[in-house]
Amino acid sequence: MLAIRRQLVSSQSKGILTRSRYISRYNSSVATGNVGSTVNTFKTAVETAEKLVQPPSSKIFNDPFSIVSHEMSNLAKSIASLIGSGHPTLNRVSSYYFEAEGKNVRPLIVLLLSKALSNIPLDQRNRIKIDTYDVTDQPHYQGTPTATSVAGKSVDDSISPLAILHGINPRVILDPLSKPMDKLPSFDAVNGILPKQRRLAEIVEMIHTASLLHDDVIDLSDSRRGRPSGNIAFTNKMAVLAGDFLLGRASVAIARLRNPEVIELLSTTIANLVEGEFMQLKNTVMKNEDTNIIDNDGESKSIPTPTGKVPTEQHEYSITPPQQVDHITNVDAAFEYYLHKTYLKTASLMSKSSRAAAVLSGSQDDIIEKCYEFGRNLGLCFQIVDDLLDYTSSDATFGKPSQADLKLGLATAPILFAWKEDPTLGELIGRKFNQPGDVEIARNAVQKYKGLEKTKEMAEQYCYKALDNLRVLPESDARSALEFLTNSILTRTK
Is the domain of 285 the same as that of 370? yes
Is the domain of 8 the same as that of 70? no
Q: State the total domains in the chain.
A: 2
Is the domain of 40 the same as that of 102? no
Interval 125-157: pLDDT, tens: 888 877 555 444 433 333 334 444 445 456 666
Residue 59 belongs to some domain of the structure: no
Residue 9: which domain range? 2-53
Is the domain of 44 the same as that of 84? no
Q: Spell out a b/e string for 404-438, using b for 16 or more CB atoms within 10 Å of the CB, else e.
A: ebbbbbbbbbbbbbbbbeeeebbebbbebbeeeeb
Is the domain of 401 the same as that of 455? yes
Residue 195 belongs to some domain of the structure: yes
Is the domain of 326 the same as that of 386? yes
> If you write DSSP's letter for every residue of 27-59 in order, what string do you get?
HHHHHTT---SHHHHHHHHHHHHHHHHS-TT--
pLDDT score, position 243 = 96
Residue 309 belongs to some domain of the structure: no
Residue 370 belongs to some domain of the structure: yes
Task: Report the distance separating Cα 266 and Cα 255, nearest Å.
Answer: 10
Is the domain of 29 the same as that of 176? no
Per the model's pLDDT, the better-predicted residue between 203 and 72 turns out to be 203
pLDDT score, position 399 = 54
Is the domain of 14 the same as that of 96? no
Check which CATH number belongs to the domain holding 433 and give it: 1.10.600.10
pLDDT score, position 375 = 97
Q: Of the ranges 61-75, 185-199, 295-309, which one carries the lowest mean pLDDT score? A: 295-309
Is the domain of 39 the same as that of 91? no
Interval 6-57: pLDDT, tens: 443 344 444 434 434 433 443 444 344 443 444 455 455 444 444 444 433 4
Task: Report the distance separating Cα 7 and Cα 151, nearest Å.
Answer: 50
Q: Which of 316, 362, 311 is nearest to 340 (CA)?
A: 316
Interval 227-285: pLDDT, tens: 999 999 999 999 999 999 999 999 999 998 889 999 999 999 999 999 998 888 776 65
Is the domain of 172 the same as that of 123? yes
- Tell me which of 11, 28, 53 is where a domain ends: 53
Is the domain of 187 the same as that of 116? yes
Average pLDDT, the chain: 77
Interval 104-131: pLDDT, tens: 899 999 999 999 999 999 889 888 877 5
Is the domain of 26 the same as that of 107? no
Residue 357 belongs to some domain of the structure: yes
